[in-house]
Structure 1
């Protein structure tokens, strides 16, 4: 599989500020996942939360995505590391799939690698809940 160009991503200014603080913490600073997330944030289009389109994956969004290589469909909530829970399908933004999904719009695909180097291509299918669209900006 050849890597497609990375799609444009959009991140709210509130999520950006919170994620930048997270990435500065010693516990995360030197992690590969944190560095990759930082790279994604650098290329992101930043918007105020009130202007965030409702079809964009933001922090605390509940999203359905398709692994295009396997065809498997998954649902998860994208959360900060402290809120991650496998039992509740709450996936950290520092997990490879979490960092890959942040900022994508419905219908967009992105190529990403798992920590063991396995390629992923994920496509956002639906967003069941987005805090900005619901007016829940305190999350």
Structure 2
């Protein structure tokens, strides 16, 4: 049976640096089978395009991303980090969370859709990517 995510949603190209691709593959392979973000990341690492066209910026480990939840219309900025660095109160989101796995590798302007563990359809759009601590970023 085809994967719901593959048949219902055309997913955008996702990018990774060579170093991030190796680390993300290792994180995804060690994530528990019951971890929904890990399952999504495992799907995505198989789609990585290592490297990106000149001038294309995309969400990397450590990046800040401003995004819009297309269901709620809520805008938020988060930093995508390794699981041990996650701190939701500071908007540090693990790459092994469903949101982190959805955002990693996306370029600005990309829309990513997936089916959440609770069956809800989710969709986010990357509004901006920044690779250093922001001042007023995404505000």
TM range (shorter): 0.7 to 0.9
Q: 1:130 to 1:15 in 2, by over 3 A?
A: farther
CA offsets 1:29-57 (integer angstroms, 9 cap, x no match) = 42332222111111110128xx7755201
Give me the whole-angstrom Cα distance separating, in 1, the residues matched to 2:54 and 2:14.
11
Moved runs in structure 1, 4+ residues, more than 6 A? none
Match of 1:125 among 124, 127, 139: 127
> Is 1:42 matched with 2:54?
no
Give me the whole-angstrom Cα distance separating, in 2, the residues matched to 1:102 and 1:63.
9
**TM value normalised by structure 2:** 0.80
User: Structure 2: which 5+ runs fail to align?
Assistant: 1-6, 134-139
Match of 1:17 among 16, 22, 28: 22
- Kept in 2: contact 1:63–1:77 (CA 8 A): yes
User: Structure 1: which 5+ runs fail to align?
Assistant: 132-139
- The CA RMSD over aligned residues, in Å, is 2.3
- 1:22 deviates by 2.0
> Is 1:105 matched with 2:107?
yes
Give me the whole-angstrom Cα distance separating, in 1, the residues matched to 2:47 and 2:107.
15
SS in 1 for 2:60: coil
